[in-house]
Each structure stands twice: as C-alpha cells, then as structure tokens.
Amino acid sequence: MSFPGEDEVLDVLEKVSRSVVNISTVRLVHAMFYQVVPVRGVGSGTIIDSKGYILTNNHVIRGARRISVALWNGDVFEGEVIGSCSLHDIAVVKVDRDGLPAAELGDSDRLRVGQRVYAIGNPFGLAGGPTVTSGVISALNRTIEAEAGFLLENLVQTDAAINPGNSGGPLVDVKGRVVAISTAIVPFAQGIGFAIPINIAKRCSAEIIDGKMPSRPWIGIIGLSLTEGVARQYNLPPVDGVLVTRVVEGGPAYRAGIEAGDIVLKLDGVRIKNIEGLLREIHKRKIGDRVHLDILKMGVERSLEVTLSEMP
C-alpha cells in the first residue's frame, strides 16, 4: 500500500530522471617510465537547457581529453566543455542535440533543514540508467576543503546517499525541482554528502554560457572559524578570527609569510569574525589587489601585505 502522495512523488522522480545524464571521461596521466596511460572517469550531469546544455561538477570533467554523454534513453553524444568555475565546482558541457528534457530549477534560498530531498545520478550509463536515493537536508551554509587547497562554501548538507558517480547529478525536492547539484561525499562520516545550491549553480552556468565567467581572487589558505570551542581545543586566546590550518605552498599567503597556526584578525581594517567573513572580503576584491592582513603570530600581532592571485 502506498503512502499518501507517494505515487505522485514517484511520477515526478521518473520525469526528472530523464534530465539526468551519464558523463564518461578519458584523461591521460603519466605512469611509471614516462608512459602515458588513459584513465576513465564517470560522473553525472543535469540537463538545464533543451538546446543541449548540461550542468555538472568541474571535478568530473577536469583534465578530460574526451567526454561522452549518455542520455536516459541510451543515446550517446560527444560532449564539449563550454567552461567551468573551480570556485564553486561547476562546469557546463554541451552536446549537439536539440529538444532535450531540461530539468526545472528551483530556489535554493528557500531550503529548510529537515526538508525531504532526493539525490539522482546516472553512474552506470548504458548499463543501468539513473539511480535515486532519498534523505533530508541536514544543514545549510556548510564549508568544506576541496582538493586544490581552497574552500567550497555555502554548501547544502544532506544524508541522502551520494554514491560514487553521482557527482554532478541533481538534488531535487518533492516536486522535482532541482535545488542543488551533488558534489562531494565525506568518507567514514555515515554518508554525509554535500551539494552546491542551485542559485549559485544557475549564476555560474549563466556566466559560463554567456562567456562572462570572471576570474576569482585567491589567498591560498585553509582555515577554521575561531569559535570558543576551537580556541579551547587548541589552547588559543578567545578572539574573533580565522585560525590558519594550512597554507598552500607557493600561494599568496605563503609568499607573504603566513604559516599554519597564525590567526587572521583583520583584512584592510575590517574585523574578520569567521571563515565566511574572510572569503566574503576576498571576493569583493580583484586579482592583483594588495590587501593588508592583521594576524596574530605566536601571540604577537603583526601586519602583512598580501597580493591576491587568480584561483588555480
């Protein structure tokens, strides 16, 4: 016996699954003895325009020499990368096909903790088609460290299982509206997954398609908001700021002499209360701008000049 509304939800999920594609890539990597070896990768994507534009993760297509896109009905097309935004792990792929079933995009600003969502992916392509897992939104505005030494911010956290190969697929609400794009899972964390809010993805994809994707300034540190709990744990003074946990070698902060264990207090005179505040101030500026950071280094307050560079 079905629960009230279950059939309607299943119909919606069946419909939106037709907008989810499989993305297969081939990268060339250098192995031992200077051999070049092709390595295959797999991910998912979401059709956002009937003219063949597909939204996926930057990490799914990064470095790919060849991209194949498989639709729900088994049709396979060669994909072309239109552009990407590493800051938000977003990329747009185009296939030469009109009349594709585009997904309806929702409004991630209206998301609420506890809201029911479904993660859809197409990791198996021709071998199996789309998969669906269910869960709830367990938190909003999360920040995690990404592979390249920078942060992915303002993420949606969910307990809906984001299985391997589901990256780039949609997180949808009970009405089938895409509210986020799945991007990452945290190993050994009971299936906690993260997704990029669709409002961020919409903005990035529009800039990419219009050819107006701006470069982003970068400082090159990984940090923690210095809360009372973090201060007690690390035996640090109870001040507002960002505790530097890692400095990217060769980056702007590294060149300026910032080290792990330093505490960022101010940027150009603006007091920094948390990691989100630091990122917000950096993103207000341009590549090449010189900023003054007030930091606490081994208990001594110092002022350093940092030249922002382009995010790698």
CATH number of the domain bearing residue 157 = 2.40.10.10
Whether 103 is in a domain gets the answer no
Q: Are residues 54 and 137 in the same domain?
A: no
Q: What is the CATH number of the domain that holds 283?
A: 2.30.42.10
- The DSSP H or E segment spanning 32 is none
Angle (nearest 5°) at CA 189 between 179 and 91 = 40
Statement: residue 2 has pLDDT above 50: no
Query: What pLDDT score does 186 carry?
Result: 60
Query: What pLDDT score does 311 carry?
Result: 73
Q: Are residues 115 and 68 in the same domain?
A: no
Whether 159 is in a domain gets the answer yes
Least reliable range by pLDDT among 37-46, 248-257, 263-272: 37-46
* Number of domains observed in the structure of the chain: 3
Query: What pLDDT score does 150 carry?
Result: 57
Closest CA to 20 of 139, 152, 122: 122
Q: Are residues 145 and 224 in the same domain?
A: no
Statement: residue 222 has pLDDT above 60: yes
Whether 78 is in a domain gets the answer yes
pLDDT > 90 fraction of the chain, expressed in percent and rounded? 33
Q: Are residues 243 and 296 in the same domain?
A: yes
Query: What pLDDT score does 299 carry?
Result: 86
Q: Are residues 172 and 222 in the same domain?
A: no
Whether 67 is in a domain gets the answer yes
Residues noted as catalytic: 59, 89, 167
Q: Are residues 254 and 171 in the same domain?
A: no
Q: Are residues 193 and 239 in the same domain?
A: no
pLDDT band at 35 (very low <50, low <70, confident <90, very high): low
CA 88/CA 139 separation, integer angstroms: 18
Task: Give the domain range for residue 304.
Answer: 217-310
pLDDT band at 1 (very low <50, low <70, confident <90, very high): very low
Q: How would DSSP label each residue in 45-109? A: EEEEETTTEEEE-HHHHTT-SEEEEE-TTS-EEE-EEEEEETTTTEEEEE-S-SS--PPPB--GG
Whether 10 is in a domain gets the answer no
Q: Are residues 234 and 199 in the same domain?
A: no
Query: What pLDDT score does 253 carry?
Result: 93
Whether 14 is in a domain gets the answer no
Whether 8 is in a domain gets the answer no
pLDDT band at 33 (very low <50, low <70, confident <90, very high): low
What would the pLDDT profile of 127-183 be if each residue is shown by its tens digit? Answer: 667 888 889 999 888 877 665 445 677 789 998 888 777 888 999 999 999 999 998
CA 141/CA 14 separation, integer angstroms: 29
Q: Report which listed range, 171-175, 185-189, 231-235, 277-281, is most confident.
A: 171-175
